[in-house]
Amino acid sequence: MADEALFEFLHMEVVSYLFKTADEEKCIPILENMGYRVGHSLAERFTKDSSRFKDELDIMKFICKDFWTSVYKKQVDNLRTNHQGVYVLQDNRCRVLTQISASKQYLEAAPNYLAFPCGLIRGALANLGISCIVTAEVQNMPACKFQIMIQRSQ
């Protein structure tokens, strides 16, 4: 319990500090970049004793189960793919959103809190050899869909 609170409170402070001090359009990339570096380091740590992954889907399952559980104390609720390089991870109770009021007026604040998790996924996947773009979409708080578009080298 305490750990989660510690991370969540620090994350909220960082978001709030950035939106108070940096240019608004720079805040999201800054948070995404922090998430990337943290996700990259975490994936390195989590996988150092594990066996090789079979394929891309195997890596996605690792992200949805082990990685998500370590970071957010729950698994991703649903993983879908179009088998053409797009994966959608659905979290029905996204921890970063459960701290915000679900009323509509706060819906526009949601992306500020999703930039870090998007970076986290992108960084973890980069560490595991997958280059991608990650975006998040909120439908009904606190549910969230992360879309991962794999970038294949030409």
Q: Computed from CA positions of residues 65, 60, 76, 35, in that sequence, does the dihedral angle turn out positive or negative?
A: positive
User: Among residues 51, 57, 64, 70, which is the contact residue for its own copies, using CB under 8 A?
Assistant: 70
Q: Write the DSSP string, 16-84.
A: HHHHHHS-HHHHHHHHHHHHHHHHHHHHHHHTTTSPPP-SHHHHHHHIIIIIHHHHHSS--SEEEE-SS
Q: Based on the shown chain and the rule CB under 8 A, indicate whether residue 7 belongs to the binding site for its own copies.
A: yes
Nearest to 7 by CA among 63, 68, 71, 65: 71
Query: What is residue 125's three-state secondary structure?
Result: helix
Stretch that binds its own copies, among 14-22, 77-85, 107-115, 139-147 (CB under 8 A): 14-22
User: Among residues 28, 64, 71, 128, which is the contact residue for its own copies, using CB under 8 A?
Assistant: 71
User: Among residues 11, 32, 113, 128, which is the contact residue for its own copies, using CB under 8 A?
Assistant: 11
Residue 18 contacts residue 24 (beta carbons within 8 Å): no
- Residue 56 CB, nearest distance to its own copies (Å)? 23
- Residue 73 CB, nearest distance to its own copies (Å)? 9
Q: Based on the shown chain and the rule CB under 8 A, indicate whether residue 74 belongs to the binding site for its own copies.
A: no
Stretch that binds its own copies, among 30-38, 50-58, 83-91, 126-134 (CB under 8 A): 30-38
CA distance 151 to 154: 9
Stretch that binds its own copies, among 36-44, 52-60, 75-83, 138-146 (CB under 8 A): 36-44
Stretch that binds its own copies, among 13-21, 75-83, 101-109, 127-135 (CB under 8 A): 13-21
Q: Based on the shown chain and the rule CB under 8 A, indicate whether residue 6 belongs to the binding site for its own copies.
A: yes
Nearest to 128 by CA among 29, 55, 30: 55
